[in-house]
Amino acid sequence: MAICEVCFRHCNLHEGQVGFCGARICRDGVVRADNYGRITSLALDPIEKKPLARFMPGSRILSVGSYGCNLRCPFCQNHEISWSADAMAFRNRAEELTPDELVAIALRYRPQGNVGLAFTYNEPLIGWEFVRDAAKLAHEAGLVNVLVTNGTASLPVLEELAPHIDAMNIDLKGFTDHYYQDVLGGDLEMVQAFIRCAVQTCHVELTTLIVPGENDSEEEMREMTAWIAGLEVESGAPAAYSAGSQAAIGAPGAEIPLHISRFFPRFHMQDREATSVAWIYHLAEVARERLKWVYTGNC
């Protein structure tokens, strides 16, 4: 029996048992990534799709995903590989790639404008060992590494990955414990701690999907953006924050880009309408009271 230390769940696993995320397993008394090198998705994308607006704009990046997730967002657009009953089926159907093989594929796409690897689609932190190994080799090959994550992981996981990651987009899905715990099955405090440390290590952009009736109030947006603006960003670490910058609105955290995205009914959350485009634009204006770089998505 062993305890998984990746996230707040601390799954206590018997030999051969898989954790809540569907991707970590107890083998020989040690919890390890059972999805290591098991690839379900591979695509060359514009970097803006991650979304990253202020990191190497106009470039393309090879996006790679596995299976499993430690949250249960009822509107998940990648639920087939993230948290549905079908996700575990990918264990045997996924293509297996070593870190060297993945980096070799990334290098082959350089003539098409590829600048590196983006770990995305499912939750990459639950398989952080593969991310670390592939990202290290990618750096050695002159490629950059991007992490697209829900930020639900312990700080030791971040410490393992930080030397090898150039940019992150982290979901800050809302700003209440109720929403994180009761709707998403997550932990806001863990995500806040992850973000607080991540902005000290690389370029970070945040994304919030606005779900009607859940996290769509002006009050919550103001509370969230005040917290973001108050984050301490280590000077010199995320240089992209100051690229083309004028006078900052306030504290260094005001330079952190925020993407505010429109919700559409999908998967288990089809009981409400899509978010109003006008309301997304309004919340973006509210966010700009505190933050300098605010972008709207899915509008």
Structural domain spans, the chain: 40-297
Of the candidates 115, 114, 113, 106, the residue with the CA atom closest to the CA atom of residue 134: 106
**pLDDT value of position 90:** 78
| 115 sits in which H/E element | strand 114-119
Place of tokens 């990918």: 90
* Separation of alpha carbons 130 and 136, rounded Å: 10
3-state secondary structure of 220: helix
DSSP class of residue 172 equals -
| Interior/surface letters 167-200, b for 16+ CB within 10 angstroms, e for the rest | bbbbbbbbbbeebbeebbbbbbebbbbbbeebbe
Instruction: Evaluate the CA torsion angle 30, 31, 34, 39 in order and state its sign.
Output: negative
**What is the Cα–Cα distance from 50 to 63, expressed in whole angstroms?**
9
The string over 205-221, giving b where at least 16 C-beta atoms fall within 10 Å of a residue's C-beta and e elsewhere, is bbbbbbbbebbbeeebb
User: Residue 31: helix, strand or coil by DSSP?
Assistant: strand
pLDDT at 112: 97
pLDDT at 244: 37
For residue 2, what are the β-bridge partners?
A: 13
Give dist(CA 61, CA 242) in Å, integer. 23
Place of tokens 């919890």: 31
Averaged pLDDT, groups of 10, the chain, 299 residues long: 97 96 96 96 97 98 97 93 75 91 98 98 97 98 98 98 98 98 97 97 98 98 97 62 43 92 94 96 98 95
β pairing state of 30-33 and 24-27: antiparallel
pLDDT of 173: 98
Question: Which pLDDT value is given to residue 89?
Answer: 76
Closest CA to 35 of 43, 24, 19: 24
Q: Is 40-297 in CATH node 3.20.20.70?
A: yes
The neighbour count for residue 30, using CB atoms within 10 Å, is 9
Please name the residue ranges forming H helices in the chain. Answer: 79-82, 90-93, 99-108, 128-140, 155-161, 177-178, 188-198, 218-229, 277-287
Backbone dihedral region for residue 44 (phi beyond 0: left; psi -120 to 50: alpha; all else: beta): beta
